[in-house]
Amino acid sequence: NAMFSWQRTAYHFQPEKNWMNDPDGPLFHKGWYHLFYQYNPDSAVWGNITWGHAVSTDLIHWLYLPFAMVPDHWYDINGVWTGSATLLPDGQIMMLYTGSTNESVQVQNLAYPANLSDPLLIDWVKYPNNPVITPPNGTETDEFRDPTTAWMGPDGTWRITIGSRHNKSVGISLVYQTSNFTTYELLEGVLHAVPGTGMWECVDFYPVAINGSTGLDTSAHGAGIKHVLKASLDDTKRDHYAIGVYDPVTDKWTPDNPKEDVGIGLQVDYGRYYASKTFYDQNTQRRILWGWINETDTETDDLDKGWASVQTIPRKVLYDNKTGTNILQWPVEEIESLRLRSTAFTEIVVGPGSVVPLDIGQATQLDIFAEFEIEIISETKHEKYGCSGGAVDRSALGPFGLLVVADQTLSELTPIFFRPVNTTEGIVETYFCADETRFVSQIDLLNSITEKILIYAHSIYELVYGVFGVAPPWEVGW
């Protein structure tokens, strides 16, 4: 683009150039957080998938390291695809990943650090007898990928789960048992299956403490613990999760609410967000969630600008013991180190249909912390769920929120808004959304909804225009 130089992020992780997708094998080792990621060394579009590698001491500032793994064996020559790390009690690190073979069959492979005493884990060794798992009977050879972190069962052996699809459209997660990470046994049945959800990619499975206090090691089970099951739906490119109960003896997981099962209920994020993966940070007792913010630009633009997509800011995940139905996500507190100066506004009253401008002065990057209180609770009326109606589609209690990257005439703007809705059960549920229908193409706005608040823009636009109440005045002619 001749007029605007393509801007890169300042806060979010992205490689120096080229294509990136899923986060892989996150872990903490000897003082360093490690992030691996799906990477194309040659271009800004998907292909030649290799494991990029970066390290950080604070989850915010990253150093690029040499590639951890490249496609160089028959069992991964078509791509070193997504995988997960398991830290063993004796300090070993087992990395399981999907390889796309010379015949494009999806197999699971094992790799480990060449030198565990290297805090940077620069060199990785692929197990000589790879693959360690091949697609079982009844599974399509190209629908069997993305092994999870292993957890230890009460019998002292490990389990992993791998997403797939059965009977045309049933999304499933298979469970394998192992004691040595080199030989595996497929357990009978599945961890869970949901009809109509299609192929499950990047399954994530982890325990959460019901009292919501700290993160839990992936092997934790027993009283006071529930389990989150997350699948990335290949059909819709959305990350869905549900909370339920895992039986470590039968290796089956049951959702608390079958109506809100995996893939038909909650999403991890309602914006551009995919292939998310958690890890247990043994250093701070947190469970940390990574997610890929997939690109909204066209392929042509990606090639033009030389890069595509970013990772989310890592988020701390806890069970929400207030609702008992959701997980709580919060950007890791280390992000506060990036805040250089701030402008605070308090007690702002935003009447229905009004916009209150906020003068934040000059800035090129911004992190917004906003708290809203609803004063008038109007009567229940027909409610639409979700974000799809945009900022002009009113519900009884909203929407309200912030206008960002707007021009002075408000002909271009992006509402970032909250939409509380009355459910049929009489509960108010709030969706956090962004409306991109008046989005300005020359601006890079992050597309994970929960991170819309991190914004960077060309200077002719206001990073923040103001706050707005229900029935926004720019609705006319929208």
| List of residues contacting ligand DQQ (CB under 6 A) | 21-22, 38, 49, 81-82, 98, 145-146, 201-202, 232, 274-275
Instruction: Name the burial class of residue 210, with classes exposed (0-12), middle (13-18) and buried (19+) by CB atoms within 10 angstroms of its CB.
Output: middle
Provide, rounded to whole angstroms, the least separation between the CB of residue 103 and ligand DQQ.
Answer: 17
Closest CB to ligand DQQ among 19 and 456? 19
The closest alpha carbon to 201, from 38, 73, 27, 18, belongs to: 38
Contact 399, 419 (CB under 8 A): yes
Judged by CB, which is closer to ligand DQQ: 289, or 391? Answer: 289
Residue 209's identity, in one-letter code, is: A
Terminal CA-to-CA distance of the chain, rounded, Å? 27
- Tell the smallest beta-carbon distance from residue 275 to ligand DQQ (Å): 4
Output 231 or 397, the one with its CB closest to ligand DQQ.
231
C-alpha–C-alpha distance, residues 311 and 33, integer Å: 15
> Which of 22, 204, 261, 269 is an active site residue?
22
**DSSP-derived pairing of the beta strands 307-308 and 18-29:** parallel
Per the structure block, which two tokens stand in for 460?
């002719």
- Residue 144: DSSP 8-state: E
Q: Which is nearer to ligand DQQ, 49 or 453 (CB)?
A: 49
Nearest approach, Cβ of residue 145 and ligand DQQ (Å): 5
Phi-psi region of 423 (alpha: psi -120 to 50; beta: other; left: phi over 0): beta
Give whichever of 81 and 273 is closer to ligand DQQ, judged by the CB atom: 81
* Residue number with CB closer to ligand DQQ (132 or 275): 275
Nearer to ligand DQQ, 23 or 401 (CB): 23
- Torsional class of 76: left (φ above 0), alpha (ψ -120 to 50), beta (otherwise): alpha
DSSP notation for 273-331: -EEEEEEEETTTTEEEEEEEE---S-HHHHHHHTEE-EEPPPEEEEE-TTTSS-EEEEE
The residue of the chain with the least Cβ separation from ligand DQQ equals: 81
Q: Shortest gap between Cβ of 238 and ligand DQQ (angstroms)?
A: 12
Query: Which residues, 6 or more positions from 343, have their beta carbon under 8 angstroms from its beta carbon?
Result: 358, 359, 360, 361
**Residue 78 C-beta: closest distance to ligand DQQ, Å:** 10
Rounded Cα gap, residues 311 and 37, in angstroms: 9
* 121: Cα within 13 Å, side-chain hemisphere: 31
Q: How far apart are CB 425 and ligand DQQ at their closest, in Å?
A: 34
One DSSP character per residue, 413-428 reads -EEEEEEEEE-TTS-E
C-beta of residue 283 within 8 angstroms of C-beta of residue 29: no
444 is known as an active-site residue: no
- Beta bridge mates, 327: 319
Least distance in angstroms from the C-beta of 50 to ligand DQQ:
10
Q: Tell me if 37 sits within 8 A of 313, measured CB to CB.
A: no
The answer to whether the beta carbons of residues 256 and 245 sit under 8 Å apart is yes
The Cα–Cα gap between 162 and 98 comes to 10
Closest separation in Å from C-beta 9 to ligand DQQ: 20
CA nearest to 252, candidates 193, 178, 167, 165 = 193
- Identify which of residues 201 and 302 has a Cβ nearer to ligand DQQ in the complex: 201
Least separation in angstroms between CB 82 and ligand DQQ: 4
CB-nearer residue toward ligand DQQ: 274 or 417: 274
- Residues serving a catalytic function are 22
